[in-house]
Structure 1
Amino acid sequence: MTARIIGGYSLQNRLLIAVSVLLTVFLGLTGAVLDRAFRNSLETGVAEQLQVQIYVLLAAVDEAGGNFYFSGNLREPRFSQLNSDLYGFISSADDGELLRTASALDISYDSLGLGYDLAIGETGFGRLQMAGRGEFFVSSYAVTWENRPSPIQFSVLEATDTFEIEVANFRSSLWSWLGGLAVLLLVLQLLLLRWGLAPLRRLARDLKQIETGQSEVLDTSYPRELSAVTQNLNLLIQSERKQQSRYRTTLADLAHSLKTPLAVIQGELGGDAEARSQSRIVQEQLDRMNQIVSYQLQRAVSAGSASTLARQVSVADAAAKVGRTLEKVYADKPVTIALDIDNAFNFLGDERDLLEILGNLLDNACKYGHGNVAATAVLESAAPPRMLLRVDDNGPGISPADRDRVLQRGVRLDTLAQGQGIGLAVVVDIAASYGARVSIGDSALGGASITVVFDNIRITD
């Protein structure tokens, strides 16, 4: 069973990204609207405050002999402080500047560019840029003054520094709160997504348990939205297992049907020595047919058996079972089979496939060895788990020239080495269906060493 890379995207990440984009846009627009509303509200407040300052000037200004003067102390101290960033001017279109507050003594009135387009009783509010002093708010109010033909315009200027500081503080506070709120909402959304998608993760875990042989079917206690899926998956699992069983039964019947006529023919050929000599060619062809039938049937039975619906099989128990059987079969030789396989190794697949692999390898070792056979299993890699199974014998071994040929997939039967090609070809086919790799080397016992590396392994405590 080869390692699979799970591709595609994550539903949780997809939803989280979508919500994050939506939340960013929504909070961004909300912040922009609130920022604009605060600025407008603050500017309105400034305009109202400057209008009050104009009324202060109106209450304190008097005229004598055509000259304007402040008849009393201004209630706003900044009007009396030089460079206090609050300045007052009284002017008219005919006479120009008529009076200014003490705070504006060093300001050139002509450089301000104040216009006289206000009607009597009308108020104007805006901004102007004062050279060397920055930006100012300006509020103007036109009134009628006794017998003067042109309106008198009262203007108050105030620097925007305080306004900008308040806006900056509000903006900093606003975005800090909105940022914190966004993080909180994203965390809550992530928790909600994990809770909402928990049944899907549970379904994936249950499917993995079926794949590794820890479970037979899916649980039925799923949400309504997934119940139809799980029921259909259970039906599919049951159908696949029934189909595998039918395949094996049909192939077993086919094997019996083919072997029986062949056995009858072989029996009829077994006469006296002269008859056996005359039918030698026929007998060789019958033996070859038997080998072909055995090989192709074993190959068909193992084909597709590396199902994702695997069961967990103890490698040590399977090897012990095969070892006990072969020691009885080769009782007259005699054969010693040494097993060194940890009980923690579990094969994820069909038990019959594992028994077929072990049976062929150990049977060849017993048949062509000189009595000493060893089967060992070691952990080659822990993550992912990978087991190396090796069967050694003390026989003549397999020559390097024949190793690639007997393991090559798709090699025809008549090109295999006599007596050992069939078993190894079956091992290669079954191992390949599970993604395992087979190799041949020299054994420390003096004979052949057959190594199979499995990836479909589970380690238990």
Structure 2
Amino acid sequence: MTSLRARQLFAASLVLTAFIALCGAGLEQAFNSSALQAEEDKLQGLAYALLGAAEANDNGDLGIPETRLPDPRLASPQSGLQAAIVNDRGGLIWGSPSLADDWPLTLAPQEVGTWRFQEQGDWFSLTFGLRWLDRADAPRRYTLLIIENNASFKAQLRTYRRTLWGWLGGAALGLLAVQLLVLRWSLTPLRKLTKELHNIETDQQGNIEATYPSELTPLTDALNSMIQSERNQQTRYRNALGDLAHSLKTPLAVLHGVTDEDVKDTNLRGKLREPLSRIQAITDYQLRKAATAGRRTLSGPVAMRPLAEKISGALQKVYADKNIKFSINIEPTLRVRADEGDLYELIGNLLDNAAKWCKSRVQISANLSRRNVELIIDDDGPGFPENAENLLQRGVRADNQTPGQGIGLAAVNDLIGVYDGKIELQRGPLGGGRVLIQFQA
């Protein structure tokens, strides 16, 4: 999970879900306990009413006249409310007209003066133990039983549960929406910083300019210092290398002039020209290598196709006698994050090498997958010899008869090394050589 907003929203959602679940469970349990207590209190009130209406019958046992029943449901069969009185041996002494033939509960005698409330299946039951004096003032023990169907209680509980979780779910969605707004507001500085960095990459601005919260100020200051330091360092490198190139140019030109004018011996003049040309080529190569920019911090992307078109157009004029056909298979929208000078050097060396060895066709292709660039140069020439990897070493050439210093592929290899890439020399589909380059940009 790479997004800060997604992480915070995920964490907040987990906490909110746990809170809502615990809160809902607590409220549901509290309501259930309260409803059960209310049910028990109601049945106890009914028990007191029944005991208040009780009187001894002809046998001296306790009974309740039908006309004095406190709840009309006790007089209606299958009403869901039943009552009974049993003696200390479990025998039925009195039962309400609503009492079913098969009692839904098994009854054990209750201790005198104690209550017992319980829920069993579809019924609530309340038992109370009592002692009653008969007409002879002899104490008799009885157990009063009240049974009520709990269907209405369960329906009430279901209604409450639906209402509770509906409101809690709505509250959770509302809190999540508020959390999204809060996250969006709190991450605004990061979005603004991202936009500024993009503007720096595309050369729309030079530094981070906006004011940020104190937590981000050290980061923005460090980024500005790094950007400025890199630019100053790059400028110093290029200026120093330009001075060095200018300083070497004059002595080498003087040596070439002296060789051409003062040395009369043709053989000696040829021997002197070759090392001087080699010194010149090696100096140019080392200067180009040292000037390689590599990856720059917050550098803007560079389009590859215009560079390839410009270089191939120039090479068509250089190798006009071969009438080379260049095929460029690069999307105009393909852009890579690399120094433009480095790309010019890379593509220029590869196309020049292919044009030098091809018969009439050179093809350049490139594609970008995420941050991985694949660049392919094909030609229809003789191809690479065995142990082609040796050509990547400076000064090694495939054919000593062909003009050059043997540093083109070596320069490409060194340049690719700056970008942590790799180069492979293969046999291509055009019948000649293929140079396959992969690097991150």
Letter in 2 for 1:354: L
Aligned to 2:280: 290
Task: Please report the TM-score for the alignment, with normalisation by the length of structure 2.
Answer: 0.76
1:11 corresponds to 2:4: yes
Distance 1:282 1:443, change over 3 A: farther
1:351 corresponds to 2:363: no
Measure how far apart 1:44 and its partner are.
1.6
Which residue of the other structure, out of 237, 242, 245, is the alignment partner of 1:247? 237
Mean Cα deviation higher: 374-383 or 78-87: 374-383
Aligned to 1:62: 55
Residue-pair matches, total: 430
Letter in 2 for 1:70: I
Measure how far apart 1:21 and its partner are.
2.5
Q: Distance in 2 between matches of 1:424 and 1:109?
A: 97
Letter in 1 for 2:395: L
Three-state SS of the structure 2 residue aligned to 1:155 is: strand
Q: Distance in 2 between matches of 1:406 and 1:206?
A: 46
Three-state SS of the structure 2 residue aligned to 1:166 is: helix
CA deviation map 1:259-313 (0-9, x unaligned):
5444444544453333x535765654443333322222212211x4232432455
Letter in 2 for 1:423: G
Which residue of the other structure, out of 397, 406, 421, is the alignment partner of 1:421? 406
1:400 corresponds to 2:389: no
Aligned to 1:178: 168
Distance 1:376 1:241, change over 3 A: farther
Aligned to 2:115: 124
Distance 1:213 1:376, change over 3 A: farther
Letter in 2 for 1:101: S
Residue pair 2:383, 2:432 contacting (<8 A) in 1 also? no
Three-state SS of the structure 1 residue aligned to 2:219 is: helix
Residue pair 1:406, 1:425 contacting (<8 A) in 2 also? no
Q: Distance in 1 between matches of 2:407 and 2:89?
A: 121
Q: Distance in 1 between matches of 2:357 and 2:144?
A: 120
Letter in 2 for 1:77: P
Three-state SS of the structure 1 residue aligned to 2:291 is: helix
Q: Distance in 1 between matches of 2:55 and 2:432?
A: 127
Residue pair 1:220, 1:227 contacting (<8 A) in 2 also? no
Q: Distance in 2 between matches of 1:326 and 1:128?
A: 97
Q: Which runs of 5+ in 1 are unaligned?
A: 1-7, 457-461
Q: Distance in 2 between matches of 1:109 and 1:232?
A: 81
Aligned to 1:78: 73
Which residue of the other structure, out of 33, 36, 43, is the alignment partner of 2:36? 43
Task: List aligned pairs for 1:145-160, cutoff 5 A.
Answer: 145=133, 147-150=137-140, 153-160=143-150
Q: Distance in 2 between matches of 1:215 and 1:416?
A: 47
Q: Specify which structure has the bigger relative contact order, considering alpha-carbon pairs within 8 angstroms and separated by 6 or more residues.
A: 1
Q: Distance in 1 between matches of 2:96 and 2:131?
A: 18
Three-state SS of the structure 2 residue aligned to 1:255 is: helix
Aligned to 2:130: 142
Q: Distance in 2 between matches of 1:447 and 1:353?
A: 26
**Aligned-pair RMSD on alpha carbons?**
4.4
Task: List aligned pairs for 1:18-417, cutoff 5 A.
Answer: 18-65=11-58, 66-71=60-65, 72-91=67-86, 93=88, 97-104=92-99, 106-107=101-102, 111-118=106-113, 124-127=115-118, 135-140=123-128, 142=130, 145=133, 147-150=137-140, 153-211=143-201, 216-270=206-260, 271-274=262-265, 277-278=267-268, 283-302=273-292, 304-313=293-302, 315=304, 318=307, 348-361=337-350, 380=367, 397=381, 399-401=383-385, 404-405=388-389, 408=392, 411-414=393-396
Q: Distance in 2 between matches of 1:264 and 1:206?
A: 51
CA deviation map 1:413-461 (0-9, x unaligned):
25665416223332343355455867677797x99787778875xxxxx
Distance 1:92 1:318, change over 3 A: closer
Q: Distance in 2 between matches of 1:109 and 1:441?
A: 92
Mean Cα deviation higher: 376-385 or 232-241: 376-385
Q: Distance in 2 between matches of 1:156 and 1:449?
A: 97
Three-state SS of the structure 2 residue aligned to 1:299 is: helix
CA deviation map 1:240-269 (0-9, x unaligned):
121112112222333344454444445444
Task: Please report the TM-score for the alignment, with normalisation by the length of structure 1.
Answer: 0.73
Letter in 2 for 1:289: I
Q: Distance in 1 between matches of 2:202 and 2:440?
A: 12
Letter in 2 for 1:142: L
Tell me the percent identity: 34
Distance 1:296 1:407, change over 3 A: same
Aligned to 1:459: none
Residue pair 2:349, 2:409 contacting (<8 A) in 1 also? yes
Q: Which runs of 5+ in 2 are unaligned?
A: none
Three-state SS of the structure 2 residue aligned to 1:421 is: coil
